[in-house]
Amino acid sequence: KKWEKEDHIIEEKVARYNETFDADVPFAGYPLSPQTQRGLRRYLPEECTPTPIQQQTIMLALQGNDILAAAKTGSGKTLGFLIPLLEILWSNRWTQIDGVGGLVLSPTRELSMQIYDVLRKIGLKHDFSAGLVTGGKSVEEEAKVISKTNIIIATPGRLCQHLDQTHGFTLDNLKAFVIDEADRMLDMGFQAQVDQIISFLPSIRQTMLFSATLGTQTSKLSRLSLKDPKYVNVNSGS
């Protein structure tokens, strides 16, 4: 079977998930899958160290925690959730036939495409399928492949449409759920749709909520979606 020859690598990495890493440790020193390490080397210069938000979220997420993270635009939040998302599926020995294992919600099609591009690069060496569900294609075209897509990057409106209409599409086995740009999501009026999506998710899952800012709206959303989250805030003065 596919995963048998990788079992010992998975066990070896998972055994190191409780380690902590100083700011000067490059990604190469982290207990990440060989596939993600290779993807990262293609995306960033070899000697790159994680940004502060990445340094503070990645190991907490690998330990299985829900995460509530705030850091300003440009601080590297994308890898802060995409690296754990890939590692969660990998360590769960996810295969193409297991359906949707990871979901990232983002407020706009453009932001979704940016996340998708990073995922394509750092996830290249993994066997997972990934797809955009943002209204860029017809609903029918998306419906044909959505149930077989391992990692979905979606805007709330279009995903709700599939949850309503697409026969056989469920999120019942989802392992990792990410809400990116939570503050903007709520500013744009997506609260009801995000709530609806959450109602379709299994209660046993890992959730990561990333935002530029944390306000009363995001704290309401975090209460609804996160279990006993770890808070990470790298915005100075707050």
CB of 226 or CB of 234, closer to ligand ADP:
234
Select the binding partner of residue 48 from ligand ADP, Mg ion, none (C-beta < 5 to 8 A, by kind): ligand ADP
Question: Rounded to whole angstroms, how far apart are CA atoms 54 and 105?
Answer: 19
| Residue 158 · residue 135 · CB < 8 Å | yes
Q: Which of residues 62-121 bind ligand ADP (CB under 6 A)?
A: 71, 73-79
Taking residue 12's Cβ as centre, other Cβ atoms within 10 Å add up to 10
Shortest distance (Å) from residue 136 CB to ligand ADP: 20
User: How crowded is the C-beta side of 76, counted as CA atoms within 13 Å?
Assistant: 17
Site for Mg ion in 69-88 (CB under 5 A): 77
Position with the least CB separation from ligand ADP: 78
- Which lies closer to ligand ADP via its Cβ, residue 57 or residue 78? 78
**How far apart, in whole angstroms, are the C-alpha atoms of residue 176 and residue 206?**
5
Contact status: 56 vs ligand ADP (CB under 6 A): no
Shortest Cβ 148–ligand ADP spacing (Å): 27
Given ligand ADP, Mg ion, none, residue 237, with its beta carbon under 5 to 8 Å by kind, binds none
Give backbone dihedrals phi and psi of 146, rounded to 5 degrees, phi first: -60, -40
Of 112 and 166, the one with the shorter C-beta distance to Mg ion is: 112
Q: Find which of ligand ADP, Mg ion, none residue 123 binds, CB within 5 to 8 Å per kind.
A: none
**CA dihedral over 113, 109, 75, 24, signed as positive or negative:** negative
Q: With contacts defined by CB under 6 A, name the span among 50-58, 124-132, 138-146, 153-161 that binds ligand ADP.
A: 50-58
**Angstrom distance (rounded) from CA 80 to CA 87:** 12
Distance CA 125, CA 29 (A): 19
Query: What number of chain residues touch ligand ADP (CB under 6 A)?
Result: 13
Say whether 133 sits in a helix, a strand or coil. strand
Work out the burial of residue 140: count CB atoms within 10 Å of its CB; fewer than 13 is exposed, 13-18 middle, 19 or more buried. Answer: exposed
What residues from 103 to 122 belong to the interface with Mg ion (CB under 5 A)?
none
- 101 alpha-carbon distance from chain centroid: 10
Residue in the shown chain whose Cβ atom is closest to Mg ion: 77
* Of 48 and 212, CB closest to Mg ion: 212
Smallest gap from Cβ 201 to ligand ADP, in A, equals 23
Binding interface with ligand ADP (CB under 6 A):
44, 48, 50-51, 54, 71, 73-79
Binding interface with Mg ion (CB under 5 A):
77
